[in-house]
Structures are given as structure tokens and as C-alpha cells.
């Protein structure tokens, strides 16, 4: 059975009504799409069914940004302090937690449910991506993007932590709106290693292989710094970090041209890659200071999720 995202969203919205997961007639509300995607045993009794669905919703919600996680936990009544009889009461609880109005929370609940459906239908993306043979993690990443220059420039300071002995190379990637040759991305290693290869990984993505100055043993950390330059026409109106390997901390500073700053800058906190340029999904605004700069930071980034800003 193939389950469409919109059908799964509709079934999830049915679950949030009334008492949510505490509803007496919950078995009747759990539709065929949820049963299929969640792998529910057809012979499961009411109590087992309730536990299985609640457990899967909690697992999926862990991959959501914090604000959306709070909203969907409230919507479905997934924890004791929000086990309230009416949906509106749970919306109000989430509004108090986030210090937002009810209308904003309702929009975020809808967004959270949509992302839950996508995660449920794409389990390989829903959870942390295994490190495989990479054997490393980013302990911290500081990115400084200067857009107030004739050619935009990015400097990255990355602390790489080895998770196996003999780590000698790390794989990185850069995405632009148009890529024809690997050489389209001018990149310079400032310190910490040597760039040994670059190749096209997709129509808009260049993969880089950086050989460390000295192979690392498990638990050792080294900092590397790189400078990228890209023509303005190849820059998209956003900058994000989408880690393939675990990343503990990411700090981003962007400096816009003083004579033409963007009208709006939105925060992208753990969004799906396909939603980066979505203009409908609710996003928090980021203030531009008097120097034309913004600074955002994130912790415990989830692999294959995107963190950063979008501007317009």
C-alpha cells in the first residue's frame, strides 16, 4: 500500500481532535495510512495500538525543531502535563511555552504535522544518519559570510573530532545555484590540511576531500579553516549548514551590503532541505543590526537537517 503525504497529514490531524491520544475512541481514528506507515499489527488491541502510535509520534517529534516539537507534543497530548481534555487547552499550553499567540501555534502545529508525515514516509531521513566510514564529527563550526564585497566570501573554522584511529581525511560539500565544473568554486585551505580532490556530486553540489595535516587518533581534535568565494549570481538567498556527520555547534555570521540590506531575514532551525525556500511555512524573523550583520547559532544539529538563515 502506497500512502500519500497529504493523506497521512489528514489522518494525523484527525488524531489531534478532542483529547488527542487520550481519546476513548482512538482505535476508530487511526486510519489505514497510519497503520501502514507505523507498521501497526492488525491484531493489536486498543491499548497496544495507543501505545504504538504514541511511541512512534514521540520518536518522530524528536527530529523536529524545538518549537515544532513543543507544538505537536501539545497537539496530540503526548506527555502528562499536556494531557488536557480539549484541543484548544493544549494549544494555549503550547502558546504559553513559546510565548506566542494561539494563531501562531496553530500554524506551527500544522507545519509540525506536515513534517511528521514527511519523516514517517522517509525513515532514512527521519533519524540520525549513521557516520559509516567517515569516523568523525564536527565539534564546532563557525561560518563568516561577507556579502558586502564584489565577490561574496565565506570563511569557515571547523573543529573536527576523530571517532576512530587513523582519521586522515574529511569529506565536505558546497551547494550553489549553478555548477558546471568543480573548479567553479574557488576554495582555499587557510590552515589544517590540504585539498586533495573536488568533484561534482550533483547538478548544484561540489564535493571536497580535505587531507588533514596529521592523521588523528580517536578522541583527538583539530581545527581547519577554509575560504570560499562564489560569484553573486551563483549565491542563493540563504545560507545553511546541512551536516552529513554529527555537528555539536554551529555559529553563523552574515554581513549584508549596507546600501541594500534585505527586507527580511528568517531563521531556519532544523528544516527539511526541500523546505529551505518555502515562503509559506512560519519562520521566526532575525534582526539585522546597525552594521548590517546577523548572528545565529545552533547546538546538537541533526544530520540531514538544515540550519541557518534565508533572506529576501
The answer to whether residue 209 sits within a structural domain is yes
Alpha helical stretches, state H, the chain: 5-15, 26-29, 32-37, 46-61, 66-76, 87-98, 102-121, 123-126
Cell of 159: 573543529
Closest CA to 64 of 127, 137, 3: 127
Both 201 and 169 in a single domain? yes
Residues 264 and 142 in one domain: yes
Task: Give the chain's radius of gyration (CA, Å).
Answer: 22
- The residue count of the chain comes to 312
Question: Per the domain annotation, does 131 fall within a domain?
Answer: no
Q: Which residues of the chain have pLDDT under 50?
A: 123-133
Q: Which grid cell sits at 291?
A: 552594521
**Is there a contact between 43 and 99 (Cβ–Cβ < 8 Å)?**
no
Cβ atoms within 10 Å of 106's Cβ, excluding its own: 18
Phi, psi of 57 (to 5 degrees): -65, -40
- The reported pLDDT for the residue numbered 280 is 77
Tell me what pLDDT residue 81 has. 81
Does 266 share its domain with 144?
Answer: yes
CATH number of the domain bearing residue 172:
2.60.40
Q: Is residue 191 domain-shared with residue 145, that is, in the same domain?
A: yes
Domain assignment present for 287:
yes
Same domain, 176 and 307: yes
Largest CA distance in the chain: 66
Q: What is the pLDDT of residue 128?
A: 28
pLDDT value of residue 242: 87
Do 175 and 300 lie in one domain? The reply is: yes
Q: Are residues 302 and 167 in the same domain?
A: yes
In a domain, 249, yes or no: yes
In a domain, residue 17? The reply is yes
At how many degrees (to 10) do helices 102-121 and 46-61 cross? 100
Phi, psi for 206 (deg, rounded to 5):
-110, 130
Decide which of 79, 102, 126 is a domain's last residue: 126
153 with 249, same domain: the answer is yes
Q: What is the pLDDT of residue 143?
A: 95
Q: Decide if 289 is inside a domain.
A: yes
Confidence at residue 207, expressed as pLDDT on a 0 to 100 scale = 81
The answer to whether residue 263 sits within a structural domain is yes
Q: How far apart are the first and last CA of the chain?
A: 41
- Give the count of domains, the chain: 2
Single out the residue in 126, 144, 178 at which a domain terminates.
Answer: 126
Tell me whether residue 147 is in a domain. Answer: yes
Q: Of 74, 107, 126, which residue is a domain's last?
A: 126
Please give the pLDDT value at position 148. Answer: 92
Q: Are residues 104 and 166 in the same domain?
A: no
Indicate if 43 and 95 belong to the same structural domain: yes
Which three cell numbers, joined as nine digits, stand for 177?
A: 545555484
Q: Which residues contact 294 (CB under 8 A, 6 or more apart)?
A: 253, 254, 256, 265, 286, 287, 288, 309
DSSP secondary structure of 246-294: -EEEEEEEEE--TTS--S-EEEEEEE-GGGTT-SSS---B----TTSEE
Domain containing 44: what range? 5-126
Same domain, 150 and 276: yes
Whether residues 166 and 191 fall in one domain: yes
- Retrieve residue 284's grid coordinates: 521566526
Amino acid at each position: 500500500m502506497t500512502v500519500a503525504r497529504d493523506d497521512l497529514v489528514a489522518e494525523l490531524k484527525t488524531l489531534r481532535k478532542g483529547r488527542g491520544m487520550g481519546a476513548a475512541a482512538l482505535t476508530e481514528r487511526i486510519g489505514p495510512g497510519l497503520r501502514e506507515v507505523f507498521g501497526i499489527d492488525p491484531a493489536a488491541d486498543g491499548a497496544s495500538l495507543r501505545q504504538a502510535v504514541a511511541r512512534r509520534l514521540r520518536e518522530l517529534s524528536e527530529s523536529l525543531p524545538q518549537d515544532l516539537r513543543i507544538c505537536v507534543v501539545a497537539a496530540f497530548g503526548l506527555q502528562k502535563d499536556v494531557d488536557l481534555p480539549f484541543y484548544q487547552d493544549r494549544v494555549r499550553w503550547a502558546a504559553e511555552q513559546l510565548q506566542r499567540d494561539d494563531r501562531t501555534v496553530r500554524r506551527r502545529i500544522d507545519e509540525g504535522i506536515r513534517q511528521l508525515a514527511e519523516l514517517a514516509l522517509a525513515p532514512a531521513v527521519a533519524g540520525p544518519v549513521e557516520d559509516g566510514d567517515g569516523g568523525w564529527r564536527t565539534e564546532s563550526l563557525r561560518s563568516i559570510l561577507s556579502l558586502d564585497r564584489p565577490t561574496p566570501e565565506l570563511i569557515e573554522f571547523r573543529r573536527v573530532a576523530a571517532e576512530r584511529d587513523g582519521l586522515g581525511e574529511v569529506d565536505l560539500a558546497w551547494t550553489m545555484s549553478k555548477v558546471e565544473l568543480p573548479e567553479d568554486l574557488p576554495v582555499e585551505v587557510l590552515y589544517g590540511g590540504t585539498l586533495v580532490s573536488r568533484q561534482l556530486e550533483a547538478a548544484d553540489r561540489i564535493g571536497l576531500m580535505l587531507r588533514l595535516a596529521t592523521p588523528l587518533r580517536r578522541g583527538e581534535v583539530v581545527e581547519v579553516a577554509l575560504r570560499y568565494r562564489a560569484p553573486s549570481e551563483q549565491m542563493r538567498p540563504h545560507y545553511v549548514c546541512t551536516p552529513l556527520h554529527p555537528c555539536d555547534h554551529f555559529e553563523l555570521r552574515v554581513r549584508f551590503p549596507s546600501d541594500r540590506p534585505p527586507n527580511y531575514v528568517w531563521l531556519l532551525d532544523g528544516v527539511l532541505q526541500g523546505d529551505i525556500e518555502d515562503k509559506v511555512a512560519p519562520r521566526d524573523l532575525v534582526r539585522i543590526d546597525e552594521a548590517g550583520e546577523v548572528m545565529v547559532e545552533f547546538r546538537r544539529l541533526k544530520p540531514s537537517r538544515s540550519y541557518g538563515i534565508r533572506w529576501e
